Amino acid sequence: MSKRITLAHGSGGKAMRDLIEDVFVSIFNNEQLSLLEDQARFELADLVAKGDRLALTTDSYVIDPLFIPGGDIGKLAVSGTVNDLAVCGAKPLYLTCGMIIEEGLPIDDLRRIVASMQATAEISGVRIVTGDTKVVHRGAADKLFINTSGVGVIPQHINIAANRAESGDKVIVNGYIGDHGAAVVDARGELALENSIETDCQPLNGLIETMLAVCPDIHCMRDATRGGIATVLNEFAQESKVGIHMSEKAIPIRDEVRGMCEILGLDPLYLANEGKLLAVVPAEYADLLLETMKTHPAGINSSIIGEITATPAERVILSTKFGGKRIVDMLFSEQLPRIC
């Protein structure tokens, strides 16, 4: 087999079949995928036994570069789709994998990415059960683009939505913000910065299951990816017609991330994350939930960073370390392109 992707690998013939079997089927290795049908099939009874609603999501990943400190595009694709399911309270079960591969990509790089996807899927308890591969001419894409869709089941009595925030609720984040965006900047090597920041990319469904076990009535929850925590909180404020007050002192930010932002003129509140969630919870559950989150590896540095207020409606206000207040608007344009 060639050491690099060629157009023949997307032809539908023997070269494509060999690539699929050698890289994808051998690594993902489950009974649905190994049948090599055009679809994966499941027993409805098995899904119904886990809940009363299906959750479906899809996302595409175009990060540059493909490999960053602490992760890669494959880990990102699985984690991101799992998290999009988990933040609505769903139990993620199955993923699809669509790849658009540029001619010339080293097959060893592809194999490394697929192995990373499988390792992340195993941690998450999901299976990658069907997929598609396309190869495009050199220059028609940038090495590799991945689309993943996911299916999960939402248990009965779970109702998490952006329009459920109520005055008095507390806002919790599960750790340091901005690590992913900072790691991508560092990996691009354009600014000669020296730091040890790694992406926070991780599946959050295990943490969320732990959270729901002690607080089934989480009101709002989302993972803070593009646009950072500022954008998510603005979405909550607008959908629920409430105000949100944050304390800058309570927001966990690494010194390295803060320093990089000061040098580049960026705001860490808008930096992308790939392993951070924001949860809006009833005040009476907040302390217990925070204590529980800190027992999970994905929530060790969790913090209560704010609260919901009746006014000013549809606004997010930050109390700064210097005693002032400022409005935190939704991100108007991308601070950093192609970060996921």
Distance from C-alpha of 241 to C-alpha of 183, rounded to nearest angstrom: 34
All structural domains of the chain, each given as residue ranges with its CATH number in brackets, are 7-154 (3.30.1330.10), 170-327 (3.90.650.10)
pLDDT at 331: 82
Cβ distance 165 to 236 under 8 Å? yes
The pTM score is 0.96
Q: Which residues pair with 145 in a beta bridge?
A: 100
Distance from C-alpha of 30 to C-alpha of 42, rounded to nearest angstrom: 13
pLDDT at 1: 64
- The whole-chain average pLDDT of the chain stands at 95
Distance from C-alpha of 271 to C-alpha of 331, rounded to nearest angstrom: 10
Cβ distance 136 to 101 under 8 Å? yes
Cβ distance 68 to 82 under 8 Å? no
Cβ distance 176 to 334 under 8 Å? no
Query: Which one-letter amino acid corresponds to residue 247?
Result: S
User: Exposed (0-12), middle (13-18) or buried (19+): which is 146, by Cβ within 10 Å?
Assistant: buried
Cβ distance 9 to 101 under 8 Å? yes
192 Cβ partners below 8 Å, 6+ apart? none
Distance from C-alpha of 95 to C-alpha of 59, rounded to nearest angstrom: 11
pLDDT at 336: 81
pLDDT at 333: 74
Q: Which residues pair with 136 in a beta bridge?
A: 102
**Among candidates 325, 95, 81, which has minimal Cα distance to 204?**
81
**Among candidates 210, 202, 212, which has minimal Cα distance to 160?**
212
What DSSP string describes 154-217? EPTT----TT---TT-EEEE-S--SHHHHHHHHHHTSS-------------HHHHHHHHHH-TT
From the first residue on, what is the mean pLDDT of each consecutive set of 10 residues in the chain (340 residues)?
Answer: 91 92 95 92 93 97 96 98 98 98 98 98 98 97 98 97 98 98 88 82 98 98 96 98 98 95 93 98 98 98 98 97 95 82
